[in-house]
């Protein structure tokens, strides 16, 4: 869905010079390039702190721990997300509580979060801004898909970012960051990602090894200035598609003014998604299903295969993501629109 080689070509000179400088420096873990990348990321996203970690999944797990979530606690999250949202909860020994999404937007329905669950992870799916129910003890936002939009932390102070290569800004491998305005949470996240060390060889708590390394930090610094252009291109593509599909045959998701566009997703008419995908494929156009199965229906959770979250299940049956990124021109989008019109 994104041509990563073309994306690299646009920033190749800068990224390659930065990576080469790191390789020649001999400083690969921590150091000034990592500090600079974390500072630039925090500034770009209007947060006080960005703590680089090994992946978005780790960013979630570490953010939850740093925010005070303990093993055995229950954590509410939407049934519709990439699996890592639930996985990060399981990784820290807590228990995921799946909550259905809103009927018209694929985001956590705050009214359905059980009153006695004190920890909530709203997910800004596809760049859309999710809300948290008021008055909960801990809110950590899964902002893996919303780099560039909003503050990534509705009702809370901490969010988790993924720098997976296909995100609006990605690195050349795995990477992520914990974003927060709270100095204590930032310090804890840093310690947890570095073996629980609060000072050299002083381990006050259990941690893990999860850091954004200097080579990836250099890649991030080279890509970050592209953020406004890429975010604007995705939003512009979404507007072109919204306009084209106003009268069908597919239904664009309703976007709010604060929403960004990480993926452009439409709902196909019931039973028509496979035909739409086949039509796009015949025209040489990639499309993707995010996601085919609600998380509570995944085999790892056992159960009888039926989702207890009907809105999430209905969404999974009809959603289709179309290409929407900075590498597309108007001709490319016209081809996508024609293929959808003819096949969906």
Ligand X SMILES: Cc1ncc(COP(=O)(O)O)c(C=O)c1O
Per CB under 6 A, does 250 bind ligand X?
Answer: no
Which of 78, 106, 156, 176: binder of ligand X (CB under 6 A)? 176
Sheet of 251-252, strand order: 251-252, 264-267, 319-322
Is the CB of 81 or the CB of 307 nearer to ligand X? 81
Beta strands in the chain (DSSP E): 49-53, 74-78, 95-99, 119-120, 138-142, 158-162, 176-180, 197-199, 202-203, 251-252, 264-267, 319-322
Determine the size of the site formed for ligand X (CB under 6 A).
15
Stretch that binds ligand X, among 54-62, 109-117, 270-278, 301-309 (CB under 6 A): 54-62
C-alpha gyration radius of the chain:
20
Q: Do β-strands 251-252 and 95-99 pair in parallel, antiparallel, or remain unpaired?
A: unpaired
Is the CB of 234 or the CB of 279 nearer to ligand X? 234
Stretch that binds ligand X, among 51-59, 198-206, 214-222, 280-288 (CB under 6 A): 51-59
Tokens linked to 165: 């290569």
Tell me which residue has tokens 């055995």.
72
Per CB under 6 A, does 213 bind ligand X?
Answer: no
Q: Do β-strands 158-162 and 119-120 pair in parallel, antiparallel, or remain unpaired?
A: unpaired
Is the CB of 56 or the CB of 294 nearer to ligand X? 56
Is the CB of 130 or the CB of 333 nearer to ligand X? 130
Closest approach, Cβ 254 to ligand X, in A, equals: 20
For residues 124 to 143, the per-residue mask of contacts with ligand X, x marking binding by CB under 6 A and - elsewhere, is ------------------x-
Sheet of 49-53, strand order: 49-53, 176-180, 158-162, 138-142, 119-120, 74-78, 95-99
Is the CB of 207 or the CB of 279 nearer to ligand X? 207
Tell me which residue has tokens 């390039």.
33
Closest approach, Cβ 122 to ligand X, in A, equals: 11
For residue 315, cis peptide bond before it (omega within 30 degrees of 0): no
Stretch that binds ligand X, among 12-20, 49-57, 192-200, 277-285 (CB under 6 A): 49-57
Q: Which residues pair with 142 in a beta bridge?
A: 123, 160
Per CB under 6 A, does 159 bind ligand X?
Answer: no
Per CB under 6 A, does 261 bind ligand X?
Answer: no
Which of 117, 123, 132, 336: binder of ligand X (CB under 6 A)? 123
Q: Which residue is nearest to ligand X (CB)?
A: 56
Contact set for ligand X, span 69-108 (CB under 6 A): 81-82, 84-85
Instruction: Sort residue 31 into left (φ over 0), alpha (ψ -120 to 50) or beta.
Output: left
Q: Give the number of other Cβ atoms within 10 Å of residue 293's Cβ.
A: 18
Q: Which residues bind ligand X (CB under 6 A)?
A: 55-57, 81-82, 84-85, 123, 142, 144-145, 162, 164, 174, 176
């Amino acid at each position: 869905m994104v041509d990563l080689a073309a994306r690299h070509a646009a920033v190749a000179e800068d990224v390659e010079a930065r990576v080469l400088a790191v390789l020649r420096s001999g400083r690969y873990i921590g150091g000034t390039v990592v500090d600079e990348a974390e500072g630039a990321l925090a500034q770009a996203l209007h947060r006080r702190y960005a703590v680089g970690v090994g992946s978005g999944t780790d960013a979630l797990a570490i953010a939850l721990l740093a925010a005070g979530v303990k093993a055995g606690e229950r954590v509410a999250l939407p049934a519709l997300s990439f699996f890592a949202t639930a996985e990060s909860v399981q990784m820290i020994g807590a228990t995921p509580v799946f909550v259905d999404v809103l009927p018209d937007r694929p985001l956590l329905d705050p009214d359905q979060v059980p009153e006695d669950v004190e920890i909530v992870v709203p997910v800004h799916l596809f760049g859309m801004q999710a809300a948290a129910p008021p008055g909960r003890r801990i809110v950590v936002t899964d902002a893996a898909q919303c780099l560039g939009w909003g503050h990534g932390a509705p009702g809370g102070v901490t969010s988790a970012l993924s720098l997976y290569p296909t995100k609006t800004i990605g690195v050349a491998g795995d990477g992520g960051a914990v974003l927060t305005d709270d100095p204590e949470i930032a310090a804890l996240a840093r310690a947890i990602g570095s073996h629980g060390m609060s000072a050299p060889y002083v381990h006050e708590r259990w941690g893990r090894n999860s850091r954004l390394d200097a080579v990836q930090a250099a890649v991030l610094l080279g890509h970050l200035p592209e953020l406004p252009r890429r975010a604007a291109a995705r939003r512009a593509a979404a507007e072109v598609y919204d306009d084209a599909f106003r009268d069908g045959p597919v239904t664009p998701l309703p976007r709010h003014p604060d929403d960004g566009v990480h993926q452009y997703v439409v709902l196909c008419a019931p039973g028509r998604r496979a035909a739409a995908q086949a039509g796009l494929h015949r025209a040489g156009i990639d499309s993707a299903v995010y996601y085919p199965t609600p998380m509570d229906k995944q085999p790892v959770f056992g159960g009888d295969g039926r989702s207890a979250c009907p809105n999430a299940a209905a969404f999974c049956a009809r959603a289709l993501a179309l290409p929407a990124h900075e590498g597309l021109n108007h001709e490319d989008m016209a081809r996508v629109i024609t293929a959808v019109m003819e096949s969906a």
